[in-house]
Amino acid sequence: VKERRTRQLEAIYEAVRTAVDHPSADEVYARVRQQLPSVSLGTVYRNLQKLSAQGRVRVLHLKERVARYDALVHEHDHFVCERCDAVADVARPAGQPTECPALAQSGYAVHAQTLTFYGVCPRCQRAAPLSERRDNAGLTGVERVAP
Amino acid sequence: VKERRTRQLEAIYEAVRTAVDHPSADEVYARVRQQLPSVSLGTVYRNLQKLSAQGRVRVLHLKERVARYDALVHEHDHFVCERCDAVADVARPAGQPTECPALAQSGYAVHAQTLTFYGVCPRCQRAAPLSERRDNAGLTGVERVAP
DNA sequence: CTTTCTGCAAACTCTTTGCACTCGT
DNA sequence: ACGAGTGCAAAGAGTTTGCAGAAAG
């Protein structure tokens, strides 16, 4: 049971590592195809799972159906824009407790926590400050906050 | 454009309101069928969406692919057991800040936040304290923490 | 050479949708 | 009677999987 270092695995990891926008599996697939045109979507999924099991990428289940992938595996949180669906990394707030006293007291063992903020990113506030909700076409930019 | 009060909508809301285990759409469907055997899964999805838009239920996207529904719409957080996938409600920790200073400073408008803890629930700790990972069959119980 | 991994396509899971019919108002 | 809502079934999106052949060690 020895793991092999294949071209595909490395290309997929590189695609996630160099991405700044928390790509979905489909987006990773599109990017890897530019370097390795014969790669298949199934292989992308299989390797993303492997990388996740190895702790080299983090899987994010935000409010959408699709899983997004993040190569920043240290403790940090996320902001999701409700208008353009962009995802930004957020340094964990200083006061944020690592444990939840109520849970610990009730016998729950906590291994991890995820904190996600939802709202409107600066770009979308500028783009459509008055309208109720805008289509996200062309507004897929991402910024990184205090990494 | 007037909304009607149908038997189906009320039965679906009741199923979620009286549930203690954050059911998925399929589970809501199974429960509503006991009262209203002719209901369809499509209707369950349509009404869960409607209830969510009305703010009467909250949709949870935890680490699974399936959406789960919660009739407790006040601010609270969740604990997910990594062994049995049970979900428990958790009162928001006292120190938890409503705003994230780093985000506010960068011009992000935050409307909501979700905080989820992952770990092992007391029942699973008792059931298999030594094994690495157990099948979740028969361990679907849920407890509620400090509601 | 052996074993893991790949590409392909089909299967699977969860959710949405079009249509004719039903039921609230 | 009008039109929002329903049941059904088919379509859709995202993900997983079985298998024969390719390639890493």
Dump pLDDT digits (tens) for A76-97.
999 999 988 999 999 987 766 6
Residue A24 has pLDDT above 80, yes or no: yes
Mean pLDDT over B61-82 rounds to 93
Q: Which of residues 44-83 of B touch A (CB under 8 A)?
A: 59, 61-65, 77, 79, 82
Q: B63 beta carbon < 7 A from strand D? A: no
For A105, the token pair is 């007291």
Percent of chain A with pLDDT over 90: 67
Residue A104 in contact with partner chain B when CB distance is under 8 A: no
Residue B126 has pLDDT above 50, yes or no: yes
Residue A129 has pLDDT above 70, yes or no: no
Task: Please judge whether B118 and A111 are an interchain contact, meaning their C-beta atoms are less than 8 angstroms apart.
Answer: yes
For β-strands A109-120 and A77-81, DSSP reports them as: parallel
* Confidence at residue A138, expressed as pLDDT on a 0 to 100 scale: 32
Q: For every residue of chain A, which 3-state class applies, written as one string?
A: CCCCCCHHHHHHHHHHHHCCCCCEHHHHHHHHHHHCCCCCHHHHHHHHHHHHHCCCCEEECCCCCCCEEECCCCCCEEEEECCCCCEEEECCCCCCCCCCHHHHHCCCEEEEEEEEEEEECHHHHHHCCCCCCCCCCCCCCCCCECC
How far is C-alpha A139 from the chain's CA centre?
17
Of A22, A93, A8, A9, the C-alpha closest to A53 is A9
Strand partners, B119: A110, B81
Mean pLDDT over A56-76 rounds to 94
Mean pLDDT score of chain B: 86
What pTM did the predictor assign?
0.86
For A114, the token pair is 């995820």
Which nucleotide lies at the shortest CA–C1' distance from A61?
Answer: D14
Residue B113 has pLDDT above 70, yes or no: yes
Q: How confident is the model at residue B130 (pLDDT cuts 50, 70, 90)?
A: low
| HSE-CB of B67 using CA atoms within 13 angstroms | 18
> How far lies A83's CA from each of A53, A80, A115, A126, B126, in Å?
32, 9, 19, 12, 44
- Cα B72 to Cα A89: distance, rounded to the nearest angstrom: 28
Which of A59-63, A125-129, B133-137 is predicted with the least confidence, judged by mean pLDDT?
B133-137
Residues 6+ away with beta carbon under 8 Å from A42: none
Which nucleotide lies at the shortest CA–C1' distance from A64?
Answer: D14
Phi, psi of B101 (to 5 degrees): -55, -45
Residue B64 has pLDDT above 70, yes or no: yes
* Confidence at residue B145, expressed as pLDDT on a 0 to 100 scale: 52
State the DSSP code for B145. B
* Confidence at residue B48, expressed as pLDDT on a 0 to 100 scale: 98
Q: Which residues of B touch A102 (CB under 8 A)?
A: 90-91, 93, 145-146
* Confidence at residue A132, expressed as pLDDT on a 0 to 100 scale: 44
Residue B139 has pLDDT above 70, yes or no: no
Mean pLDDT over A98-119 rounds to 88
Identify the residue with better confidence: B140 or B46: B46
Highest mean pLDDT among B35-39, B134-138, B140-144: B35-39
CB-CB neighbours of A25 under 10 Å: 19
